[in-house]
Amino acid sequence: MKIFSEELVARAVKELHIADLSRATIGEVLLVAQYLERETGIPFIRMDQGSPGLPVNRYGVEAEKAALDRGVGSQYPAAAGVPELKHEASRFVKAFLNVDISARACVPTVGSVAGSFGSFIACTQCMPGKNKVLFIDPGFPIQKSQLRVVGADWVEFDIYHHRGEALRSKMEDMLSGGDIAAIVYSNPNNPAWICLEEAELKIIGELATKYDAIVLEDMAYFCMDFRHDMGHPFCPPYPPTVARYTDNYILMLSSSKIFSYAGQRMALTCVSDKLFDRHFPALAERYKDAGVFGQTLIASILYMITSGCTASTQYAYAEMLRLSTEGEINFVEDTREYAIRAERMKKIFTDNGFHIVYDMDVTQRVGDGFFFTIGYGDMSGGDLLTELLYYGVSSISLATTGSEQQGVRACTSRMREDLYDVMRERMEAFHADHPLKKI
């Protein structure tokens, strides 16, 4: 039995001016869920927005308060970032990735959204004839919206059928035209939680060098592949990264998920030293500066977007990075709760006829973490999103993420202990109302 009537959902869609519910954005689904909760008082099981669902890191809060007490709020922060954060960022990358990036090339940004926005601008303008971005999908829809703002083009492919060595031929085909400026993906992946393995990243790195494309590696869920015992400073295993296989890379490290510091909008854009120092005549001509990638990115692009990052928050991030590098806090254990939630949520769904859409990496089953993907029979992703809303469960269609597979993305961050039984009851009702064809 449905929790919310089709008429009520239709009214919400109409009043919120949503053009197509089956392809609704994260923000639009969020508004529908809030509308239905407000109208009925019935709680939703919120699997839509990937907002952290754990307490904020208290060490960051204390460090930020101390910075404000010192008076840092009275001065503009340097565009390149405060020295303390840049120093700790370099140490953190070495400790947890075993990669060397100098402090000068670690640049704070107002969340990874600003980092990718600025990077897209720089990458698509630095080489004449190279003005497209290649998305290894599924991925974060906002990044394509950023390219619409910039006016840059993109191409994409769903990695579902191109794992392992099959990735090479697909990427060669996409890159061979010579117009790809950048390659972007998240690892672990939003929305599928698949993890690119070392061999796949080696392929990406080799092809990035061969075709002179810059890789944007989004590490928002850093060390959150809980199948492996990562997160111990200066000790393997280290997370896989393209930085081991090319000099053409930018790593994006966010404080939002690993430290639950999302509200303060703080991330790092860590640029390969060789790329940071590389001279591009096209940048020099456009910006009337030296045309050096790193300096242009900081002073001529990122500064135009945000005028630097909040000084007090930079000190907060620096302290959280320092404590992690020195082994005084374990951010991986702090976030393991997401994997516990995912395991429990997946079981409720699979017990009631659902299947995991992106279920395998190359050599092992996809792990549990911040996101997972579900499908139901032969139902399209858009139809499944809509039907789940009637049962008080919000999600987003995989179609909005560049996926060619049918299903929806589920986020674990807002799940609460008191909602598991509610979810089980609703999914049992969904299953009863939507009998699957027996094969």
Q: With helix as H, strand as E and coil as C, how does the chain read?
A: CCCCCHHHHHHHHHHCCCCCHHHCCHHHHHHHHHHHHHHHCCCCEECCCCCCCCCCCHHHHHHHHHHHHCCHHHCCCCCCCCHHHHHHHHHHHHHHHCCCCCHHHEEEECHHHHHHHHHHHHHHHCCCCCCEEEEEECCCHHHHHHHHHHCCEEEEEEHHHCCCCHHHHHHHHHHCCCCEEEEEEECCCCCCCCCCCHHHHHHHHHHHHHCCCEEEEECCCCCCCCCCCCCCCCCCCCCCCHHHCCCCEEEEEECCCCCCCHHHCCEEEEECHHHHCCECHHHHHHHCCCCEHHHHHHHHHHHHHHCCCCHHHHHHHHHHHHHHHCCCCCHHHHHCHHHHHHHHHHHHHHCCCEEECCCECCCCECCCCCEEEEEECCCCHHHHHHHHHHCCEECEEHHHHCCCCCCEEEECCCCCHHHHHHHHHHHHHHHHHCCCCCC
The confidence band for 267, taking pLDDT boundaries of 50, 70 and 90, is: very high
For the segment(s) 6-54+334-433, the CATH number from 3.30.56.10, 1.10.1740.10, 3.90.1150.100, 3.60.10.10 is 3.90.1150.100
pLDDT of residue 4 exceeding 80: yes
In single-letter form, the type of residue at position 292 comes to V
pLDDT of residue 157 exceeding 70: yes
pLDDT at 317: 98
This prediction has a pTM of 0.95
Query: Looking at residues 187-205, what average pLDDT do you find?
Result: 97
pLDDT at 438: 73
pLDDT of residue 111 exceeding 70: yes
pLDDT at 105: 98
Q: Tens of pLDDT along 297-314?
A: 999 999 999 999 999 999
pLDDT of residue 1 exceeding 90: no
pLDDT of residue 331 exceeding 90: yes
Rounded to whole angstroms, how far apart are CA atoms 374 and 22?
15
For the chain, give every domain's residue range: 6-54+334-433, 58-325
pLDDT at 437: 82
Which of 7-21, 30-44, 179-193 has the highest mean predicted lDDT (pLDDT)? 179-193
In the numeric block, which tokens belong to residue 313? 């928050």
pLDDT at 426: 97
Query: Looking at residues 193-209, what average pLDDT do you find?
Result: 98
pLDDT at 32: 94
Rounded to whole angstroms, how far apart are CA atoms 253 and 271?
11
pLDDT at 49: 87
pLDDT at 439: 60
Rounded to whole angstroms, how far apart are CA atoms 109 and 253?
10
Query: Which residues are 292's β-sheet partners?
Result: 279
Q: Which fold has domain 58-325?
A: Aspartate Aminotransferase; domain 2 (3.40.640)
pLDDT of residue 10 exceeding 80: yes
Report the percentage of the chain scoring pLDDT > 90.
97
pLDDT of residue 341 exceeding 70: yes
User: One fold for both 6-54+334-433 and 58-325?
Assistant: no
Mean per-residue pLDDT over the chain, rounded: 96
pLDDT at 408: 97
